[in-house]
Structure 1
Amino acid sequence: MSPRSLLIAAAAFGLMALQAPARADVDPEALVEPVADYKLYVLDNLDAFVSHTRDFTRAIKAGDLERAQSLYAPTRVYYERIEPVAELFADLDASIDAREDDYEKGVDDPDFTGFHRLEYGLFKQRTTDGLAPYARRLMSDVDDLESRVQGLTFPPARVVGGAAALMEEVAATKVSGEEDRYSHTDLWDFQGNVDGSQKIFALFKPLIAEEDPAFVERVEDNFAAVEATLAHYRLAADDPEAGFVSYEKVSDADRRALVGPVTVLAEDLSTLRGKLGL
């Protein structure tokens, strides 16, 4: 069997164990393929995440400040895309992606690790000195995450709910610029969240498109509005890999312009589980 066929079979088995009934007009078996395809998406992003994290942490351990700074944002994108699944492992999510505000002693707290601890050193202190232990811990945590996800049966309700959760996070904390407060690479994170949310919506859209075409059109229009705003700040319009300008250069007007469609997206996508009977 192909990897996709194996995942479809595993997803079907997992759905058999669901206790909550789906809506009468949504066949539970119809959820099998999108859940399996989403797991493939997550595994592909995890594979890239591991590879990019390895390069990122090697640059830190080698003392190459400029390279480490340049790899920070593009490495995080893969995590931001799959955050709904990563957050199933609260211990790893905390050690990989917690912010200094989550700790009583802030940046001086010994439990503060992960990307944002490294961000503080690389962009605030502008040095790699003393960061090697944090780099090794990050690499270990990312490897652990990949290992745990391999054998995970994806809960359909969690997968579908992830579309809204990603947009809610952008609206609640990221538009303010507090996520990447030292590197100002927030737009990379926005794009990762949007990518992940769009993927979930695209996979499950066929199950609701005929019943509620107006909903589908509204969600797609708002995704397009967010993408258009992000595109305005790309370093190269024809090269998505080139990334974005510093978030400091995003005007207040465009920050406000992002809030509207992101908030509406979060609200609309929060109804997706109900539409699918989850």
Structure 2
Amino acid sequence: MKLIKLSGILLLSSSLLFGCANTDTTSTTEKEKATKNVAADALKGVTDEYRKYAIGEIEEFVKATEVFTTAVKNGDIDKAKALYAPARMHYERAEPIAEVFGDLDPKIDAREGDVPEVEWGGYHRIEKGLWDETTTKGYEQYAEQLMKDVNLLRAKVDTVEVTPDMLITGAVDLLNEVSTSKVTGEEDRYSHTDLYDFVANVQGAEKIYQLLNPALKEKDAELSKEIGARFDEVYSLLNKHKKEDGYKSYTDLSKEEVKELSQAIDALAEPLSQIGIVTEAS
């Protein structure tokens, strides 16, 4: 994976110009290897930074989940409702790493119908109790299990190997998840706090873009600029729906507003999907 033009190619061109193309192939190969190493080191710095970011979000998720589950166990339904969406934002931002654990993600984030009813727990199970059944009674066990699963996620996340491909795929997947499923309102179907998830997914994708952007500018400055402008457009639309420290109920949005958001996210996802050029040789 290389971000910098191969100096060996320029050297070879010079050799041909002066009629000595075959005199230093060993040196050229060594310079090409050195260039590859520089590029790999640059991307390693990016993956290390993302790792810190994602682990930081998971740590905040642990803290927020502890307060949320305590409210559920204490029967404080109003507090639990207020904490639900902000707590989940930490998870949504870090999904490219969090979803690596195929056993834990469904336990923490499965929606009704995603898993057999007998296995369904986690945030959305408690969401149903809080908003659909307007009670915390009987949900203490779900709160206890959710806290155990979130703590286990934090313990396991240190083992994840973060690669440039994971970041590139993850950034696009975060946006696709919004535009293909979350835009329907099915994610938070009881609380209608979907806009919090939208914002967190966009923020998670933007963090990946920001980390890869210096390399992207080297490859394609116009693409870099376009992606930045598309992020600005999406945030502009999301900011219209802010309400105090949070966001409106998703059901308060008109069909036209939902369509506008969906189209803006699709318009961002298209150029963002080309960000993989940062790993290509040039």
TM-score, normalised to structure 1's length? Answer: 0.86
In the alignment, the residues of structure 1 paired with residue 2 and residue 112 of structure 2 have an alpha-carbon distance, to the nearest angstrom, of 41
Aligned equivalent of 1:131, options 109, 114, 139: 139
In structure 1, the residue corresponding to 2:119 is in which secondary structure?
A: coil
> 2:263 matched to 1:251?
no
> 2:179 matched to 1:171?
yes
Question: Which amino acid counterpart does residue 264 of structure 1 have in structure 2?
Answer: A
How far apart are 1:180 and its partner, in Å? 0.4
> Comparing 26-35 with 168-177, which one deviates more in the overlay?
26-35
> For residues 31-53 of structure 1, what are the alpha-carbon distances to aligned partners after superposition, in whole Å with 9 as ceiling and x for unaligned?
01111110111111111100000
> 2:200 matched to 1:197?
no
Question: Which amino acid counterpart does residue 76 of structure 1 have in structure 2?
Answer: R
In the alignment, the residues of structure 1 paired with residue 53 and residue 150 of structure 2 have an alpha-carbon distance, to the nearest angstrom, of 17
> For residues 142-174 of structure 1, what are the alpha-carbon distances to aligned partners after superposition, in whole Å with 9 as ceiling and x for unaligned?
101111112322122112211101000000001
Question: Which amino acid counterpart does residue 146 of structure 2 have in structure 1?
Answer: L
> For residues 189-240 of structure 1, what are the alpha-carbon distances to aligned partners after superposition, in whole Å with 9 as ceiling and x for unaligned?
001001100000000000011321111111111111110111011113xxxx
Aligned to 1:14: none
Aligned to 2:91: 79
Aligned to 1:121: 129
In the alignment, the residues of structure 2 paired with residue 141 and residue 103 of structure 1 have an alpha-carbon distance, to the nearest angstrom, of 16
How far apart are 1:22 and its partner, in Å? 5.0
8 Å CA contact 2:108–2:123 kept in 1: the answer is yes
In the alignment, the residues of structure 2 paired with residue 136 and residue 157 of structure 1 have an alpha-carbon distance, to the nearest angstrom, of 35
In the alignment, the residues of structure 1 paired with residue 200 and residue 133 of structure 2 have an alpha-carbon distance, to the nearest angstrom, of 26
- The structure with the larger Rg is 2
Q: Alignment length, in residue pairs? A: 249
8 Å CA contact 1:161–1:272 kept in 2: the answer is no
In the alignment, the residues of structure 2 paired with residue 151 and residue 28 of structure 1 have an alpha-carbon distance, to the nearest angstrom, of 21
Aligned equivalent of 1:94, options 106, 123, 141: 106
8 Å CA contact 2:69–2:144 kept in 1: the answer is yes
> 2:240 matched to 1:232?
yes
In the alignment, the residues of structure 2 paired with residue 118 and residue 168 of structure 1 have an alpha-carbon distance, to the nearest angstrom, of 26
> Comparing 261-270 with 81-90, which one deviates more in the overlay?
261-270
Structure 2: gaps (5+ residues): 6-35
8 Å CA contact 1:167–1:194 kept in 2: the answer is yes
Question: Which amino acid counterpart does residue 88 of structure 1 have in structure 2?
Answer: V
In the alignment, the residues of structure 2 paired with residue 24 and residue 151 of structure 1 have an alpha-carbon distance, to the nearest angstrom, of 30
Structure 1: gaps (5+ residues): 1-20, 237-241
In the alignment, the residues of structure 1 paired with residue 242 and residue 253 of structure 2 have an alpha-carbon distance, to the nearest angstrom, of 11
Q: Structure 1's 176 and 56: CA in aligned 2 closer, same or farther, altered over 3 A?
A: same
8 Å CA contact 2:241–2:248 kept in 1: the answer is yes
Aligned to 1:58: 70
Question: Which amino acid counterpart does residue 272 of structure 2 have in structure 1?
Answer: L
Taking the TM superposition and a 5 Å limit, the aligned residue runs for 1:104-119 are: 104=116, 109-119=117-127
Aligned equivalent of 2:196, options 183, 188, 196: 188
What RMSD over aligned residues (CA atoms) do the two structures have, in Å? 1.6
> For residues 233-277 of structure 1, what are the alpha-carbon distances to aligned partners after superposition, in whole Å with 9 as ceiling and x for unaligned?
1113xxxxx111111111211111111121122222222224423
> 2:218 matched to 1:210?
yes
Q: Structure 1's 264 and 275: CA in aligned 2 closer, same or farther, altered over 3 A?
A: farther
